[in-house]
């Protein structure tokens, strides 16, 4: 059975605006970088599989470590096990930080080779852990906690190093990802006449821009936002697969590049350089899901395979790094 994907939310983007220093693309550094987090699948009575054990971190060199302090199976709002749902986890795009709930119920962000920042007890309202989706920015400097459920709740945006809440994003917005520098959050929201708008918020919660993009953009998710806060990247899949770039400020499609991709379902789209977009593609295979990561030159459309790996065969659910 194919391993479930914990979150399709991605850490987005990098394309510097005029007059702004270019950000350096992040680099994955062997055993010092996380490829993905995985929790084991166990067979339950009645024939249904469930998550069990601790979250495992699989590094770029194949080594594994266990997050002993992380909650594995989600707890409800009263602290009781949900049994069939894993607790949320997120890996930063550069593979250097991981966010999770501790076994005491607190939000935490761990830095590889560093310490663990445990957030305040009241950082989030009392909700079921499986109603929370965690999202880290590419460098792990920002954490978004997205709360679903029957009652709409605002998305909280935190400084990962201090645990301080920087701002909130309205609960009726679907959070799609951070910009590369973590200063903006890309969201989607229902607009007039049953159309879908894209809206960008600052990390402190102010709406920066909201537009109704053409269908070629909003119908082909996930979308990624560049660090300039205006350039969207999306992939049109099919017989003629294309990389589409769209400017939120001018409401114009600025580029359409024909690309040829390896096999796999599109899982993540991230900007990883001024002229580079990175895709994660997943294949469902009996020996374990296979991940292929490709880099696309946005100027030429050239596609280069950066990494390939097969996930642990016993994986119930996984959360891959972005970028």
Give the Cβ contact number of residue 155 at 10 Å.
Answer: 22
Q: How far apart are CA 251 and CA 52, in angstroms?
A: 47
Residue 29, pLDDT above cutoff 60: no
Domain extent for 151: 4-320
Name the least confident of 21-30, 46-55, 80-89, 185-194.
21-30
Give the Cβ contact number of residue 172 at 10 Å.
Answer: 10
Name the residue with higher pLDDT: 36 or 23: 36
Instruction: Give tens-digit pLDDT for 200-217.
Output: 999 999 999 999 999 999
pTM (predicted TM-score): 0.90
> What is the domain count for the chain?
1
Strands (E) across 242-314 are located at: 242-247, 252-258, 265-273, 276-283, 290-297, 303-310
Please, are residues 135 and 175 in contact by the beta-carbon 8 Å criterion? Answer: yes
Domain of 213, CATH number, reads: 2.120.10
Reading the block at residue 277, the tokens are 């977009």
């Amino acid at each position: 059975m194919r391993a479930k994907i914990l979150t399709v939310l991605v850490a987005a983007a990098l394309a510097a605006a005029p007059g702004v220093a270019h950000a350096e693309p992040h680099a994955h550094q062997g055993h010092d970088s996380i490829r993905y987090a995985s929790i084991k699948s166990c067979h339950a009575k009645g024939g249904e599989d469930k998550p069990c054990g601790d979250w495992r971190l699989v590094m770029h060199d194949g080594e594994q470590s266990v997050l002993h302090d992380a909650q594995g199976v989600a707890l409800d709002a009263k602290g009781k096990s949900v049994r069939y749902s894993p607790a949320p986890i997120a890996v930063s795009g550069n593979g250097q930080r991981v966010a999770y709930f501790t076994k005491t119920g607190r939000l935490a962000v761990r830095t590889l080779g560093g310490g663990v920042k445990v957030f305040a007890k009241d950082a989030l309202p009392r909700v079921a852990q499986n109603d929370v989706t965690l999202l880290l920015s590419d460098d792990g400097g920002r954490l978004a906690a997205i709360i679903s459920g029957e009652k709409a709740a605002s998305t909280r945006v935190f400084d990962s190093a201090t645990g301080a809440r920087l701002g909130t994003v309205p609960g009726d917005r679907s959070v799609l990802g951070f910009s590369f520098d973590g200063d903006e959050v890309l969201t989607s929201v229902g607009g007039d006449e049953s159309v879908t708008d894209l809206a960008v918020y600052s990390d402190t919660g102010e709406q920066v821009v909201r537009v109704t993009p053409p269908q070629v953009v909003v119908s082909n998710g996930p979308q990624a936002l560049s660090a300039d806060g205006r350039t969207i990247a999306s992939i049109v899949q099919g017989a003629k697969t294309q990389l589409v770039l769209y400017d939120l400020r001018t409401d114009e499609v600025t580029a359409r590049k024909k690309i040829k991709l390896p096999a796999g379902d599109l899982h993540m789209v991230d900007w990883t350089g001024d002229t580079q977009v990175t895709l994660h593609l997943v294949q469902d295979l009996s020996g374990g899901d296979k991940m292929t990561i490709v880099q696309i030159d946005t100027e030429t459309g050239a596609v280069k395979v950066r990494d390939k790996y097969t996930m642990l065969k016993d994986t119930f659910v996984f959360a891959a790094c972005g970028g």
